[in-house]
């Protein structure tokens, strides 16, 4: 058999095998999930959940890095049901202070998604709503991909509350 015929036969075999594998009835089905919750951050005091770990001490926050370990709750009140946490960092990445880059791992400690997590990455705006990417997940959210919307609900001198809506697919 010629080399071209052997190559063609191998390619046909691989294509057939991949079609059979992709159409298996027991293959897991992709799911679309929407999560809605609130992120509570304490900015000062003995129970602070965010710190500025790097600062250039200039007249701007450009280059500063914040690290946080915040709570996720069902509602915007500090006493609403705790469902998990958000650990990550934010980098002040715009010279004019208009936005920054965040990398956040959202983990769930209660309910149906206990033990699962979502990894996110993207730009947060200093004002107005922000849209960022969901780039992965663990547990019930394996192979997660999608987006999240966030907006500031309340901000005081010592704390802030952010509302999140996450839309993503996973297996």
In this prediction, residues 9-16 reach a mean pLDDT of: 55
Residue 116 lies in a domain: yes
Residue 19 lies in a domain: no
- Please state, in angstroms and rounded to a whole number, the distance separating the CA atoms of residues 96 and 103: 20
67 contacts 53 by C-beta, under 8 angstroms: yes
What is the pTM (predicted TM-score) of this model?
Answer: 0.84
Specify the pLDDT at position 56: 87
Domain span including residue 120: 30-170
Specify the pLDDT at position 98: 93
Specify the pLDDT at position 28: 80
In this prediction, residues 79-99 reach a mean pLDDT of: 97
70 contacts 84 by C-beta, under 8 angstroms: no
Specify the pLDDT at position 128: 92
In this prediction, residues 39-48 reach a mean pLDDT of: 96
Per-residue confidence at 71, pLDDT binned at 50, 70, 90? very high
Specify the pLDDT at position 57: 79
Residue 17 lies in a domain: no
Total domains present in the chain: 1
State the average pLDDT for the chain: 90
Residue 22 lies in a domain: no
Give the 3-state secondary structure of 68-82. Answer: EEEEEECCCCCCCCE
113 contacts 139 by C-beta, under 8 angstroms: yes
Residue 24 lies in a domain: no
Specify the pLDDT at position 38: 99
Specify the pLDDT at position 8: 56
Residue 84 lies in a domain: yes
CATH number at residue 115: 2.40.480.10
Residue 6 lies in a domain: no
Quick: pLDDT tens for 137-163: 999 999 999 999 999 999 999 999 999
In this prediction, residues 64-68 reach a mean pLDDT of: 97
Specify the pLDDT at position 12: 54
Q: Which two tokens stand for residue 58?
A: 């200039």
- Please state, in angstroms and rounded to a whole number, the distance separating the CA atoms of residues 107 and 112: 12
Residue 7 lies in a domain: no
Cβ-based neighbour number of residue 130 at 10 Å: 19
């Amino acid at each position: 058999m010629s080399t071209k015929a052997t190559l063609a036969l191998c390619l046909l075999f691989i294509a057939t095998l991949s079609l059979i594998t992709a159409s298996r009835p027991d293959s897991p089905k992709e799911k679309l999930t929407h999560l809605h919750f609130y992120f509570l951050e304490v900015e000062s005091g003995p129970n602070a959940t965010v710190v500025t770990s790097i600062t250039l001490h200039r007249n701007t926050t450009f280059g500063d890095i914040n690290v946080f370990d915040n709570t996720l709750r069902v509602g915007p009140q500090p006493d609403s049901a705790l469902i998990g946490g958000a650990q990550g960092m934010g980098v002040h990445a715009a010279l004019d202070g208009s936005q920054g880059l965040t990398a956040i791992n959202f983990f769930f400690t209660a309910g149906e998604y206990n033990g699962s997590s979502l990894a996110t990455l993207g730009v947060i705006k200093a004002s107005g709503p922000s849209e960022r990417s969901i780039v992965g997940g663990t547990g019930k959210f394996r192979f997660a991909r999608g987006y999240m919307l966030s907006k500031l609900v309340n901000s005081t001198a010592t704390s802030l509350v952010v509302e999140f809506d996450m839309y993503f697919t996973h297996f």
